[in-house]
Structure 1
Amino acid sequence: MNLQEFDTAPADELRPLLAACCDVPRWVDSVLEARPYADLAALTKVADEAARSLTNDEVARALAAHPRIGDRAQGESTEAAWSRKEQSGVGDDPVVRDALAAGNREYEQRFNRVFLICATGLSATDMLTALRHRLTNDDTTETVVVHEELRKIALLRLAKAIT
C-alpha cells in the first residue's frame, strides 16, 4: 500500500493493518486521525510520538500479541508473517533455541512479561546476548527498554506496510 492509498482508505480497513504494527487502539487511532500525511516522514513522526506516549498497560496489551523470541508465529496473518521474518535470525540450532527458551522462562519469571526485542537484523546469538544482559536490569530500566523495543518494532512494521 502506498501513502496515498493509506490516506484515502476507510479507517476500518486500516485498523487491522495498524494493529499488526502495534496492537494498541489509542496508537492506531492516533495514526488514523492525523491523516492525510504529506509524506512518509510525517506519518512516521506521528506514529513515533504516539508510541512514545504508550502507558505500561498499553505496552502490556501490545506484548500479548507478540510471540516469544524463538517461537515460530503460526497462522497467515500479516503480524504472524512479519514476526516469522523478524525472527529469521533465530535459526534452527537446537542449542541456541533451547538457550532462548530457558532465557525466556527466566525473563518471564523475573519481569512477568514476555521478552521483547526488535529482532530484525539480529542473529540468535545477538538476541541471546541481549536477553542475558537485560536479565540484569532492574524493573524500571527494563520497562524503559521494553517501551523502546516496542516502539522500534511498530515503526519498522509501519514502514513495511506503507511502501
Structure 2
Amino acid sequence: MDLEQFNSLNNEQAFEALKSCVHIQSWIQSIIQQRPFGSVDELYQTAALQAQTWQWSEISEALAQHPRIGEKKAATTLSEREQQFSQKEQAQLGADQDIQQALYQGNLAYEHKFGHIFLIRAAGRSGTEMLAEINRRLENSVELEQFEVKQQLSEIALIRLKQEIQ
C-alpha cells in the first residue's frame, strides 16, 4: 500500500498492517498515533527511532512469532502476510542438506544457551553466512546477544515495513 492509504486506515486496520512487520505493541501504537506521515522517509525514521526503545520483554514476546532459520513455521500461527515475508527472507537459504542440518544443530545449541530462538535478518544472506553468524553469536554473552537480537529484529521490522508501505 502507499503512504496515503496507510495514513487513511482506521486504527485497527493500521494495527493489522504493522503487526505483520513485528509483534511489538508499543512500536505499532506509537506509529499509529503519529499518523499522518508526510513522507515514507518520515514513517521509516519514526519506526527506526521507536525500535530503539524496545525492551527485552517485548522482544522476547516477538521472538515467538518468528520461525527458526531453516524452518517454515513459527511456534505460533503466522498471518499469510507474515508467512510471505518469512519465505522471501529465507529464500537465500537454499536446499543444501548439510547447511540445513548444521543450522538445525546450531539452533538447538543457541536455544539451550540463550533460551530463545536464533534470530537473524535472513534477507540477503546465504545459508553459509547465517551458519557463520550463529556460530559467532554462540560465543556472545547474554547481554551482547540481547543487543544483537534487538538489532536484527529492528532490521527485519524495517525491511518488512518498507515492503508493506511504499
The normalised TM-score by structure 2 is 0.95
Distance in 2, matches of 1:19 and 1:130, equals 27
Q: Which residue is equivalent to 2:58? A: 58
Q: 2:22 matched to 1:22? A: yes
Q: The residue matched to 2:65 in structure 1 has which SS?
A: coil
Distance in 1, matches of 2:92 and 2:132, equals 13
Percent identity over paired residues: 34
Say what the alpha-carbon RMSD is for the aligned residues.
1.2
**What pairs with 1:86-125 in structure 2 (closer than 5 Å)?**
86-125=89-128
Distance in 1, matches of 2:79 and 2:48, equals 27
Q: Which residue is equivalent to 1:5? A: 5
Q: Please state how far the C-alpha of 1:49 moved relative to its aligned partner.
A: 1.2
Q: Which amino acid aligns with 1:49?
A: L
Q: Which residue is equivalent to 1:31? A: 31
Q: Please state how far the C-alpha of 1:77 moved relative to its aligned partner.
A: 1.0
Contact 1:73 1:83 in 2 (8 A): no
Q: Which runs of 4+ in 1 moved over 2 A?
A: 73-76
Residue by residue over 1:99-150, the C-alpha shift from the partner in whole angstroms, topping out at 9 and shown as x without a partner, is 0000000000000010000010000000000010000111111110000000
Q: Please state how far the C-alpha of 1:11 moved relative to its aligned partner.
A: 1.3
Q: Please state how far the C-alpha of 1:73 moved relative to its aligned partner.
A: 3.5
Aligned length: 163
Distance in 2, matches of 1:160 and 1:26, equals 21
Contact 1:90 1:123 in 2 (8 A): yes
Q: Which amino acid aligns with 1:66?
A: H
Q: Please state how far the C-alpha of 1:16 moved relative to its aligned partner.
A: 1.7
Q: Please state how far the C-alpha of 1:76 moved relative to its aligned partner.
A: 6.0
Q: 2:81 matched to 1:82? A: no
Q: 2:73 matched to 1:70? A: no
Runs of 5+ consecutive residues of structure 2 not aligned to the other structure: none
Q: The residue matched to 1:79 in structure 2 has which SS?
A: helix
Q: The residue matched to 1:67 in structure 2 has which SS?
A: coil
Q: Which residue is equivalent to 1:146? A: 149
Residue by residue over 1:79-113, the C-alpha shift from the partner in whole angstroms, topping out at 9 and shown as x without a partner, is 11100110011111111100000000000000001
Runs of 5+ consecutive residues of structure 1 not aligned to the other structure: none
The normalised TM-score by structure 1 is 0.97
Q: The residue matched to 2:14 in structure 1 has which SS?
A: helix
Q: Which amino acid aligns with 1:26?
A: S
Q: Please state how far the C-alpha of 1:64 moved relative to its aligned partner.
A: 0.7
